[in-house]
Chains A and B, each alone.
Chain A
């Protein structure tokens, strides 16, 4: 019996390594939008990196804060200097697991990412809804979620009046290709 168990596990193991395929983000876009009485703020970042392991459904991504491009240069400076404090916290990261992903299904499928989101040095457990679409050997992941600034201790000075909203809508899009 123990022999068959060993046999089984060998098969599982080999299967595991056979399926173990890592995907890396070839293209990335992380943007956020906030609407406030005085001005809407939107910024986009195309310099993020991400990796997805289809055997374990684990995913991690890392966003360099300084690479968010704002339409106004002064806004970009304030975002880095005063709000996200990118000198102290240069990166925002997520590591977790994709739940509901079926590797053999083509087309768009709804999934959920569960894991730890770190922004401004604060790590929180989050559940983020999204979709994955298989296009040939590429995987396209899309997600949209709300980040509350106070959850991550991002303080808005009273002097800013109502220039900045208390929450922002984050849109993430990664195009993964198998790792060579």
Chain B
């Protein structure tokens, strides 16, 4: 009996302590999870940059972040070695985008193509989310005004040409869904209103853009963007110099900390919506391809939160 009792006690002790200790570790973590309040998870980083190719993505700069964006489009590669495959020619847009809030941003820029100044406002209206609130897509509203400085004198266009005729308004809805961390797709219904057009063009032109990105590595992504213009003039009735084509872009995004480098192949050389959606004069699929790049650098002007 004397020898058995400690054993018995041990068994009893084991019975009371052991199950508790074994279960408790997992229980404690499970308990934490159970008691945590369910939340809405908003999708972030649908795209790496505020630009998909030539046009915009749903992304805006965060509050207090200023981005310097340097867009560059070379000449057509068709020029061959004599034109250094387009590198002898270049169109540049210098721009600044600033996040007023995490949802609202403002941007300005000047494009050497047609000497166009542009300003834009961008607002993240809806965000893709899951959890308590489920929403399938992110929607950003984009509005822009572009002012064409060229040609210098109004009278060289037509006798009654006014300064206001140099203005184009652009309205866009950017609708995107991040299907997975590696795949995001975007639709861009667009209206371009030009105050002045030539006889073969419409003042209001509707277009639908579509595009997306596939991430190859955490820092590198392939991108594509295509804008279909429903009100494009009929090319069959136009002279070769006036023919219009839909813009198409293939690109690669490379991100390094505060920089994003976007290398592009595109048929558009203008870097505002009026120019690349309605005035692209080269045909990508006929070999009129231009090399281009966007380089961005972000500066945090105000501390995050």
Contact = CB atoms under 8 A, between A and B. Distances in A.
A95 B28 contact: yes
A161 B103 CA distance: 31
Interface string A62-80: 1000100111111011101
A82 B219 contact: yes
Interface residues of A, number: 49
B8 interface: yes
A83 to B, nearest CB: 8
Interface in B1-17: 1, 4-5, 8-9, 12-13, 15-17
Contacts of A78: 255, 257
Contact of A62 (B16, B36, B255): B36
Given A1-B1, A77-B45, A157 B219 contact: yes
B64 A73 contact: yes
A13 B31 contact: no
A85 B45 CA distance: 11
A88 B45 CA distance: 14
A178 interface: no
A97 B21 CA distance: 10
B26 interface: yes
A159 B219 contact: yes
Chain B interface main SS type: mixed
Contacts of A12: 13, 16
Nearest to A39: B257
Nearest to B305: A69
Interface stretch (B78-86, B119-127, B136-144, B296-304): B296-304
Contacts of B255: 78, 159
B256 A51 contact: no
A51 B33 contact: no
Contact of B28 (A6, A9, A60, A74): A60
Nearest to B26: A95
Contacts of B257: 74, 78, 160, 163
Interface string B277-303: 000000000000000000000101001
B25 interface: yes
A164 to B, nearest CB: 9
Given A1-B4, A58-B21, A115-B25, A72 B33 contact: no
A95 B25 contact: yes
A18 to B, nearest CB: 13
Given A5-B8, A80-B44, 19 more contacts: A8-B9, A49-B35, A53-B24, A53-B28, A60-B31, A66-B41, A70-B304, A72-B300, A72-B304, A74-B65, A74-B298, A81-B45, A83-B218, A85-B181, A93-B29, A93-B32, A95-B26, A96-B25, A157-B217
22 contacts: A2-B8, A5-B5, A5-B9, A5-B12, A8-B9, A16-B17, A16-B20, A58-B21, A58-B24, A58-B25, A71-B304, A72-B65, A73-B102, A81-B181, A82-B219, A83-B218, A95-B25, A95-B28, A95-B29, A155-B218, A159-B254, A163-B257
Closest 4 CB pairs of A and B: A73-B62, A60-B28, A82-B218, A9-B12
Interface of B: 1, 4-5, 8-9, 12-13, 15-17, 20-21, 24-26, 28-29, 31-33, 35-36, 41, 44-45, 62-65, 99, 102, 181, 217-219, 254-258, 298, 300, 303-305
